[in-house]
Amino acid sequence: MNILVLLKQTFDTEERIVIENNEINEEGVEFVINPYDEYAVEEAILQREQHGGEITVITVGPERAESALRTALAMGADKGIVIEQEGEADEYTISKLIAAAVKNESFDLLIGGNMAVDSGSGQVAVRVAEELGIAHVSAITKLATKGEKVTIERDAEGDIEVIETNLPVLVTAQQGLNEPRYPSLPGIMKAKKKPLTRLSTDDLDAYEPAAPRTKVIQQYTPEKKQAGRMLEGEIKEQVKELAQLLRMEAKVV
C-alpha cells in the first residue's frame, strides 16, 4: 500500500503569539508538526505495518518546513517531499501545489490532519481530494482496509458515522484515531539518511500558477479576559443592576 501524508509545520501550541505590523513575529518561535498531522503520520505507519508498502510525507512551505518532515521520517515515514513556497499563499494555492506534485504518482491512501491549529480552516486536504478526483472522508476516528475496501468511522457531532468506500481515498485524522509515537533515537539517526526531495513551483509541470483566493485583512490577539463580577443585594435590585450593566458597559442590549 502506497500512502501519502499531507503535513504542515505550525507554531508550537505553547508559544506566545506576538503580532507586529499586522504579521505574526516568528523570531525565536519553535515550530513543530501540526498536532492533527501527527495522528495522520501514526495512522500511516499502522496501515503500513498491516499491509506493507511505503509512506511519503509532503509539505508546502519555507525552508524551515523541512524539520517537520524530518520528524515524520524519524517517526517511521519512508521519504519526504518539500514544495518550497515563499510569500503569499492560501489553502487554494497550497492544494494546487500538492495535487500537481503527486498527480502522476499512484497512492492508495492519502491522510491529512483534520485541520491545522494555526488557521483552523480544514480545507487543504478536501481541496487536494477534489483536485485528484478521489473520495474524501473527514474527521475519522477509525480506519480499516481490506483489499480495495475501506471501512471508516468518523465523528459526527458527538455520534459515530460508519462509511464504506474504495481505494484510493483521502481521509483526515481526528483526535482519538490513535496515539502518535515519539521519534526514537535510532529513528532520528535513520531519518537523516532517508530521501527528501525539494521541489520549486518550476519543477511542477502539472502546476498552473494559482493566485490566492483569500487574503488576511487583519490579525490581532484577543483581549484579556476580565474577572467576573458578583452582584449583591435583593434579587430585584440585582436584576436592575444587571440590565444597566448589559446596556451601558457590555452594550449588548
Query: Could you give the percent of the chain with pLDDT greater than 90?
Result: 53
**Contact call for residues 83 and 76 (beta carbons, < 8 A):** no
Same domain, 120 and 229: no
Tell whether 135 is covered by a domain: yes
> In the prediction, which pLDDT does 185 show?
92
Same domain, 125 and 229: no
Take residue 200 and report the three cell numbers written for it. Answer: 520549486
- pLDDT tens track for 121-163: 888 999 999 999 999 999 999 999 999 999 999 988 878 899 9
Same domain, 68 and 179: yes
* Cα gap 174→137, rounded to integer Å: 11
Residue bearing the bigger pLDDT, 76 or 26: 76
**Contact call for residues 107 and 3 (beta carbons, < 8 A):** yes
Same domain, 135 and 93: yes
Tell whether 208 is covered by a domain: no
> In the prediction, which pLDDT does 226 show?
76
Mean pLDDT of the chain: 88
CA atoms within 13 A on the CB side of 182: 2
Residue bearing the bigger pLDDT, 206 or 95: 95
Overall domain count for the chain: 2
Tell whether 93 is covered by a domain: yes
Query: Could you give the percent of the chain with pLDDT greater than 70?
Result: 100
Same domain, 152 and 227: no
Residue bearing the bigger pLDDT, 118 or 137: 137
pLDDT score of 234 more than 80: yes
* Cα gap 97→79, rounded to integer Å: 18
**Contact call for residues 143 and 47 (beta carbons, < 8 A):** yes
Say which CATH number the domain at 33 has. 3.40.50.620
> In the prediction, which pLDDT does 18 show?
78
Same domain, 156 and 59: yes
Tell whether 215 is covered by a domain: no
Same domain, 50 and 108: yes
- Report the amino acid identity of residue 177: L
When pLDDT is averaged across residues 78-98 and rounded to a whole number, the result is 88
Same domain, 227 and 197: no
Same domain, 237 and 162: no
Tell whether 213 is covered by a domain: no
Same domain, 134 and 236: no
- pLDDT tens track for 181-190: 999 999 999 9
* Cα gap 165→109, rounded to integer Å: 12
Full residue range of the structural domain in which residue 247 is found: 223-253
> In the prediction, which pLDDT does 152 show?
95
Tell whether 217 is covered by a domain: no
Same domain, 154 and 244: no
Placement of cell 505574526 in the chain: 24
When pLDDT is averaged across residues 66-81 and rounded to a whole number, the result is 94
Report residue 206's pLDDT band, with 50, 70 and 90 as the boundaries: confident
Tell whether 164 is covered by a domain: yes
**Contact call for residues 165 and 26 (beta carbons, < 8 A):** no
pLDDT score of 253 more than 80: no
Residue bearing the bigger pLDDT, 142 or 221: 142
> In the prediction, which pLDDT does 214 show?
85
Tell whether 25 is covered by a domain: yes
Phi-psi region of 247 (alpha: psi -120 to 50; beta: other; left: phi over 0): alpha
The per-residue DSSP string of 66-131 comes to HHHHHHHHHHT--EEEEEE--S---HHHHHHHHHHHHTTS--SEEEEES--TTT----HHHHHHHH
pTM over 0.85: no
Alpha helix (H) residue ranges in 11-65: 35-51
**Contact call for residues 85 and 145 (beta carbons, < 8 A):** no
